[in-house]
Amino acid sequence: MTTTITHWIGGAPTASDGARTQPVDNPATGEVIAHLQLGTAEDVDAAVAAAQRAAQAWGQTSLSKRSAVLFRFRELLEANIDELALLVSHEHGKVVSDAKGEIGRGLEVVEFACGIPQLLKGEYSSQAATGIDVYSMREPLGVVAGITPFNFPVMVPLWMAPVAIATGNAFILKPSERDPSAAMFLARLWQEAGLPDGVFSVVHGDKTVVDALLDHPGVDAISFVGSTPVARAIHARATAQGKRVQALGGAKNHGVVLADADLDDAADHLAAAAYGAAGERCMALSVAVVEEAVADALVERLAERARGVRVNAGDQEGTDMGPVITAEAKERIEGIITSAEQEGAELVVDGRGCIVPGFESGYFVGPTVIDRVRPEHTAYVEEIFGPVLDVVRVKDLAEAIEVINANPYGNGTAVFTASGEAARTFQRQVHVGMIGVNVPVPVPVAWHSFGGWKDSLFGESHIYGPEGIHFYTRAKVITQRWPRRDDLAGASFHFSGDSAK
C-alpha cells in the first residue's frame, strides 16, 4: 500500500484543500511508491499566512538564538544522512553514495549560515559630520520562497533555506513533484532543531502552486533552480510583481582537453562528470572539447570508461550510475542520441536500450559517447540532462574558447592542461560564471556563491555565500545625532548646512 505525501504548513503535516494527486515512482523499478497531494492557491495562502506570522517574531530573534537552531539542524542532518540518502535514492534513482555527497555539499551551506552573527555585521562611521554618526545594518525581507528541481532534492533546498532562515526570514519550499519526500524529512529536522512553527513550510504542487507563489503579495522574494525557459518566465512574472528574483537556468558545460593534458586523468574526470547521477546535474560536463591532435586517443579512453560504468539501481552495492528520473526522460534522451546518429555524428558508445537484470522496468539509459559532434547538431543544442557525452574537435585553445563563448549558456566549464599560461588565458577569456582548472565540476564552496552567466542566470544575484546573504536581506542606513541640550544651534534650511559638516 502506497503512502500519501501531504504539505508541511505551520509546523505540521497538512492535507491539501484540493483533490488532485500525482504518483511518485521509484525510477529503478518503475513502481509507484507514493501519491503526492498537489497544492492549490488556497494552500499557498495558508503557508504564506503562517510564514508572515512566524517571520515577525523570527526576524526579531537574536542572532545567537538563530545560530543555535542552525547548529542543531546541522547536527541532526549529519546524524540522519544514511536514512535521507536512501530516501533520495529511491525517489530520484541516484546512487546512495552520490546522495550522501549531495547532502554533504548542502551541509557546507548550513555550516556557512551558522556564522550568521559574523555575516550580518554592519558598518559604522563615527563622527561622519560634527556630532553625527552613520551606521548600516541588513534586515530580513520577510517571507521568501524557493522552487527547486528534482536532481538535487536535498542540496538545492539547502542552498536556499539555511541562508534565508539565518538572516531572519520565513521560507516556503516548493520542491519537485518527482522526489518530494526529502523536503518533508527536512521540515521535521528543522522542527526538531527548534525552529519556530511557520518559519519553514513545504507546499507541493505543479504550475498552480508556482504561479500562486509568484503572484502572492505576501511573498517578498523567489529563488529558483531549473531549466532556462522556466527560469526566464519566473523571473519575468515575479519581477513584474515587484519581487526579488534569483533564477538559475540550464547549462551546456564544456570540458576542454588540451594536447598537453594527462589523457587518462582527463578521461577519468570527464566520465565521472558526464555520467555521475546519470548526467542529471546542471554542472555535468556534457561536452568534451578536444584538440584534434589528441582527439582519437581521448575518445578511445572515454569509450573504455563509458563501457566500464556499472549501471544498476542506486541502492545496490557497487553501482556507479542509476536510472534517469522518469520514463519520459529516458525516451527524450534516447531520441536525442538517435538524432545525433541521423545528423552525421559518430556514435562510439550507445546507451540506448539499456536493460538492468532484476530491474527491467527501470528507466535506465547507458553511458553514451558521441564523437564528431558539431554545434548545429541537436545533441549539442539541447540540454540533454542524461548520461551522454558529446565530443567536439577543435584545432587549438582559441577555437575551443570560441565554441564555448558562442553557446547561449554560461554556467560552468573546465580545462584540462599542464600549462599555467593556457589555463590563465582560458579562465580570463571564457564567458562563463564558474570555471574549473583540472577540476571537472567546479561547484564553489559555500563561502563563495554559485551561479552562471548568460542564459544560465536571470537576476543579478548568485545563490548562497555572500550574494545569498545580500539577496535575502535589505540594507538600512541610520544617521544619528545626540546633541547636548546647551548646544542646540537650530536647523538649517540648506541641504548641506553647517550642522552636517
| Enzyme catalytic residues | 282
> CA angle, 170 as apex, 169 and 176 as ends, to 5°?
120
DSSP states of 370-395? EES--TTSHHHHS---SSEEEEEEES
* 282 φ/ψ angles, rounded to the nearest 5 degrees: -70, -15
What 3 state SS string does 418-464 have? CCHHHHHHHHHHCCCCEEEECCCCCCCCCCCCECCEECCEECCCCEC
Other CB atoms within 10 A of residue 379 CB: 24
Residue with cell 586523468: 265
3-state secondary structure 211-262: HHHHHCCCCCEEEEECCHHHHHHHHHHHHHCCCEEEEECCCCEEEEECCCCC
Query: At residue 409, what is the residue type?
Result: Y
Cα–Cα distance for residue pair 383/412, rounded to 1 Å: 13
Residue listed under C-alpha cell 497531494: 37
Q: Which residues contact 342 (CB under 8 A, 6 or more apart)?
A: none
Quickly tell me which residue has 583540472 as its cell.
438
Q: Report which secondary-structure segment, H or E, holds 79.
A: helix 63-79
Cα angle 164, 106, 319; round to 5: 155
Helix, strand, coil percentages in the chain from 3-state DSSP, rounded to 5: 40, 25, 35
Grid coordinates belonging to 87: 530516501
Q: Judging by beta carbons within 10 Å of its beta carbon (0-12, 13-18, 19+), is residue 252 exposed, middle or buried?
A: buried
> Judging by DSSP bridges, how do beta strands 143-147 and 170-174 pair with one another?
parallel
295, three cell numbers: 582527439
Four-CA torsion 102, 106, 111, 112, nearest 10 degrees: 130
CB 41 within 8 A of CB 212: yes
